[in-house]
């Protein structure tokens, strides 16, 4: 009997030791996507203009890397801390821990090389070899075009420096270990063809991360087959819940009855000269959808997105967008 117990203890000890070794490996050897590229991005007016457009209206980088004023509908950005980070994503809104968006102005990035920035944006490994939490959609950016990423970097270099110390992330166990396995090498698209409307629409959808919100998720991971069908829930601290809409062309539950002009108008209404920010009272519904940022996309880009979504298989998924807990 004693011998059997001894054998069991030895086996358990080996298992525990193995797990410890795995954890140590993950924490110390990962992520490992390769060294940053030795590059120098030339900051030209053309690149800055393209980067400003992408960072503010397509990839919407500044949506997270600024602070949003949730006293207004769709949370417009607080201009005084533009790009300075500090937006909180905590347990009260369903996150597995507490995260804060990074400061991406020159005040925080002056000692980052362009290659380090490029690696972080496209792979999820930062300057210090640490993993970025995929709230930052680097898996999407890693499928875009290198020139567009360089344009975003050029634009970031021109931002006014905002001094804002951002608290460190505090992820729950075991995600604080698993996150190190998430960064991966980029699979960049070599060439863009804006004349291929559907293909370009798919590219814009990837950069904009539409499926990150407009899909069902399980523990933060998209459920395959639900892309564009909506159903992801967003908790607000005031006890309200917003569920993402079905944006497939299903006629009964999606946007199958919208023509291209209606789709474009849905976005561009927020750029009308007559549009006034809508105040949201303490217990009212709001939305995480950054309408005010995406509204700045050109009509041709919005039309390309509409054309691509029209090729996606329609999903029947009725969604009640607003509800209370």
Q: Within a domain: residue 22?
A: no
Where does the chain have alpha helices with state H?
2-29, 45-53, 61-64, 106-109, 114-123, 138-141, 146-158, 175-178, 197-208, 210-213, 260-268, 291-294, 299-309
Q: Within a domain: residue 239?
A: yes
Q: Which residues of 105-134 are buried (b: 16+ CB within 10 A; e: fewer)?
A: bbbbbeebbbbbbbbbbbbbbbeebebbbb
Residue 325's pLDDT band (boundaries 50, 70, 90)?
confident
Mark which of 171, 191, 211 sits at the end of a domain.
Answer: 191
* 198 shares a domain with 176: no
Whole-prediction pTM value?
A: 0.93
Summarize pLDDT for 242-299 with one digit per residue, the tens.
Answer: 999 999 999 999 999 999 999 999 999 999 998 999 999 999 999 999 999 999 999 9
Distance CA 303, CA 156 (A): 27
Task: Answer whether residue 23 shows pLDDT above 60.
Answer: no
14-28, 77-91, 168-182, 255-269, range with the lowest pLDDT: 14-28
38 alpha-carbon distance from chain centroid? 26
* 35 shares a domain with 169: yes
DSSP string, 30-43: -----PPP------
Q: Within a domain: residue 202?
A: yes
Q: Within a domain: residue 276?
A: yes
* 307 shares a domain with 266: yes
Length, in residues, of the chain: 325
Q: What is the pLDDT of residue 19?
A: 59
Task: Answer whether residue 21 shows pLDDT above 90.
Answer: no
Share of the chain above pLDDT 70, in %: 91
Domain that holds residue 241: 192-325
Q: What is the pLDDT of residue 30?
A: 66
* 66 shares a domain with 152: yes
Instruction: Please compute the mean of the pLDDT values over residues 80-90 and round it to a whole number.
Output: 95
Task: Answer whether residue 25 shows pLDDT above 70.
Answer: no
DSSP letter at 242?
Answer: E
Distance CA 158, CA 140 (A): 24
DSSP string, 264-313: HHHHHGGGSTT--PPB--TTS------HHHHTTS-HHHHHHHHHHHTTSP
- Name the strands in the sheet holding 233-235, side by side, starting at the edge strand that comes first in the sequence: 233-235, 240-243, 322-324
Summarize pLDDT for 203-247 with one digit per residue, the tens.
Answer: 999 999 999 999 999 988 899 999 999 999 999 999 999 999 999
Q: Which of 122, 126, 102, 101 is nearest to 184 (CA)?
A: 122
Q: Within a domain: residue 295?
A: yes
* 200 shares a domain with 163: no
Residue of 94 and 242 predicted with greater confidence: 242
* 175 shares a domain with 91: yes
Task: Answer whether residue 29 shows pLDDT above 60.
Answer: yes
Region of 94 on the Ramachandran plot (φ > 0 left; ψ -120 to 50 alpha; else beta): left
* 82 shares a domain with 37: yes
Mark which of 165, 191, 217 sits at the end of a domain.
Answer: 191
For the chain, how many structural domains are there in total?
Answer: 2
* 268 shares a domain with 257: yes
* 51 shares a domain with 179: yes
Q: What is the pLDDT of residue 17?
A: 59
Q: Within a domain: residue 11?
A: no
Q: What is the pLDDT of residue 187?
A: 95
Distance CA 171, CA 282 (A): 28
Q: What is the pLDDT of residue 27?
A: 60
Q: What is the pLDDT of residue 192?
A: 79
Q: Within a domain: residue 8?
A: no
β-pair partners for 308: none
* 187 shares a domain with 48: yes
Task: Answer whether residue 20 shows pLDDT above 80.
Answer: no
Residue 6's pLDDT band (boundaries 50, 70, 90)?
low
Quick check: helix, strand or coil at residue 248?
coil
Q: What rounded mean pLDDT belongs to the chain?
A: 92
* 216 shares a domain with 184: no
* 253 shares a domain with 108: no
Q: Within a domain: residue 15?
A: no
Summarize pLDDT for 130-158 with one digit per residue, the tens.
Answer: 999 999 999 999 999 999 999 999 999 99
Mark which of 191, 222, 249 sits at the end of a domain.
Answer: 191
What the block records as the tokens of 199 is 């293909």
């Amino acid at each position: 009997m004693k011998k059997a117990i001894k054998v069991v203890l030895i086996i358990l000890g080996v298992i525990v030791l193995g797990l410890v070794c795995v954890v140590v490996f993950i924490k110390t050897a990962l992520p490992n996507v390769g060294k940053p590229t030795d590059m120098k991005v030339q900051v030209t007016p053309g690149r800055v203009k393209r980067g400003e457009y992408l960072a503010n209206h397509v990839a919407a980088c500044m949506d997270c890397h600024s602070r949003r004023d949730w006293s207004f509908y769709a949370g417009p950005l607080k201009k005084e801390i533009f790009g300075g980070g500090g937006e909180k994503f905590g347990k009260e809104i369903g996150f597995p821990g507490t995260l804060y968006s990074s400061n991406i102005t020159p005040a925080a990035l002056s000692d980052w090389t362009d290659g380090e920035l490029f690696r972080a944006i496209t792979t999820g490994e930062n300057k210090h070899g640490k993993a970025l939490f995929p709230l930052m959609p680097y898996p999407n950016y890693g499928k875009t075009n290198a020139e567009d990423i360089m344009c975003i970097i050029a634009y970031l270099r021109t931002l006014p420096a905002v001094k804002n110390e951002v608290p460190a992330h505090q992820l729950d166990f075991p995600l604080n270990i698993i996150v190190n396995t998430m960064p991966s090498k980029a699979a960049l698209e070599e060439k863009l063809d804006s004349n291929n409307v559907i293909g370009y629409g798919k590219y814009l959808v990837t950069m904009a991360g539409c499926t990150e919100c407009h899909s069902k998720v399980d523990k933060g991971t998209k459920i395959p087959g639900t892309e564009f069908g909506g159903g992801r829930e967003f908790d607000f601290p005031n006890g309200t819940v917003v569920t993402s809409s079905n944006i497939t062309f299903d006629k009964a539950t999606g946007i199958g009855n919208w023509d291209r002009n209606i789709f474009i108008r849905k976005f561009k209404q927020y750029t009308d000269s007559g549009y006034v920010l809508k105040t949201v009272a303490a217990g009212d519904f709001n939305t995480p959808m950054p309408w005010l940022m995406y509204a700045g996309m050109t009509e041709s880009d919005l039309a390309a997105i509409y054309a691509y979504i029209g090729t996606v298989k329609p999903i029947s998924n009725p969604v009640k967008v607003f509800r209370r807990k």
